[in-house]
Structure 1
């Protein structure tokens, strides 16, 4: 019912906006009241607002197709409270400078909300990122995802030497981690995350799902906090 109501309002807004636009075009031909054209000239953001609302509604509809799975983390790939009832999903890449910049936002959100569970989706889209993504998931299996995650960002870029150093800093069992990083379960997780990102229409990292809202880009802590609310 909530989705139907949102669609009805969105349809009404789109109809209103394009009604104004259509009337404005007719007014140029002398067939409509000049007040419509004046209104659009005085309020140029109305079509932008409607377009944004339409994009957000479409993103929520796409999310409905994967939400049963996207909130279910790979074993251990969680920051914050693993049992938290408030959930933020992040798609991340260790060679992405905006992901690195967003790390402080996630740390702040987790520190402020003991009920927050951040589900981490490794999405290595930059060249040379896959080895680090695989090691991060291997760290998750040892209960040390966050330790590796933060160590890896401190040691970027993701050269083999830096990945190994981050793994040691996180206290991983290195031999076990290497086996896990090469496992089928990790390969499947990376493929699933790519499929999720494509389904949601994400074009890069970081990308987020907060509440029922997919969000692309490094949007800052306040935007994420607002969406979680």
Structure 2
């Protein structure tokens, strides 16, 4: 979603730049109308209406460039995974699930405000239930605003008290992060609000979120959810079968 918005905004910007360049060209070629901005703009407007394929061609070219750049970035990110594995697969306190000695680790980067993350939860839960030899490591990756950051801080504070999954599941079930839903999730997880708030404001929690953002940037994670399964990077929502397939590949390529 983030990349699509950037592409659309870039296309609009290019269209505006094209219009500006055409205006400047007409002013240079037709000095007699150079001072009549309204007349030049009418000429440009009419030309673009008669030749709309120009904008389509520009957008197609931009999309090709965006895709090439994204592929190059993801290729570099994939190459950096082996060196990053210790940081990726070491959970923060109790922010993990499954078999602690599993042969494949699935590291997932999530944001509590992310609908695609919420949509991926059933598949992840099914994987944990059906595959007794996987380990899940949760990395807090708040990218959707201040409420996400606050929620991530409380989740890590819950992890420090051995209640990560209880808080995590309760907050995602609430529909999104807010003061009210965080308070409700704390209650459902059996956490003391004051003690958890203190931990949420700690340097350890702040450093963990910062480290996750640096990891995500290195691995070309422009949104959530994002996954590292074995040594593979996956971007976007994944259902149960997609996770099963990724785990199978990880086992074959160990």
- Aligned equivalent of 1:116, options 125, 134, 140: 134
2:210 to 191, 206, 220: 191
Residue equivalent to 2:162: 143
1:202 shift after superposition: 0.9
Mapped to 2, the partners of 1:104 and 1:190 lie a distance apart of 25
In angstroms, what is the RMSD of aligned CA positions?
A: 2.1
The answer as to whether partners of 2:123 and 2:238 remain within 8 angstroms in 1 is no
SS at match of 1:75: coil
Distance 1:199 1:56 in 2: 10
Alpha-carbon separation, structure 2, partners of 1:139 and 1:83: 22
Summarize deviations over 1:99-136 as a string: whole Å, max 9, x none.
Answer: 00111111000001122211000011112211111111
Retained in 2: the 8 A contact 1:91–1:121? yes
Q: 1:66 aligns with which of 74, 84, 89?
A: 84
In the TM superposition, what are the counterparts of 1:30-49 in structure 2 within 5 Å?
A: none
Match of 1:75 among 93, 114, 124: 93
| Kept after mapping to 2: 8 A contact 1:56/1:213 | no
Within the alignment, does 1:179 sit opposite 2:198 as a pair?
A: yes
List gaps (5 residues or longer) in structure 1: 1-50
Cα distance in structure 1, aligned partners of 2:113 and 2:221: 17
Q: Aligned with 2:80: secondary structure? A: helix
Pair 1:107-2:125 in alignment? yes
Give the corresponding residue for 2:116.
98
Contact 1:59 1:213 in 2 (8 A): no
Pairs within 5 Å for 1:206-225:
206-225=225-244
Q: What is the rounded CA distance, in whole Å, between the counterparts of 1:159 and 1:56 in structure 2?
A: 33
SS at match of 1:208: strand
For residues 82 and 143 of structure 1, the distance between their equivalents in structure 2, rounded to whole angstroms, comes to 14
Structure 1 residues 53 and 190, CA gap change in structure 2 (3 angstroms): closer
Residue pair 1:208, 1:214 contacting (<8 A) in 2 also: yes
Q: 1:161 to 1:199 in 2, by over 3 A?
A: same
- Whole-Å separation in 2 of the counterparts to 1:83 and 1:190: 25
Runs of 5+ consecutive residues of structure 2 not aligned to the other structure: 1-68, 249-254
Alpha-carbon offset, residue 177 of structure 1: 1.1
Q: Any idea what SS the aligned residue of 1:214 has? A: strand
Give 3-state SS (helix, strand or coil) of 1:79's partner. strand
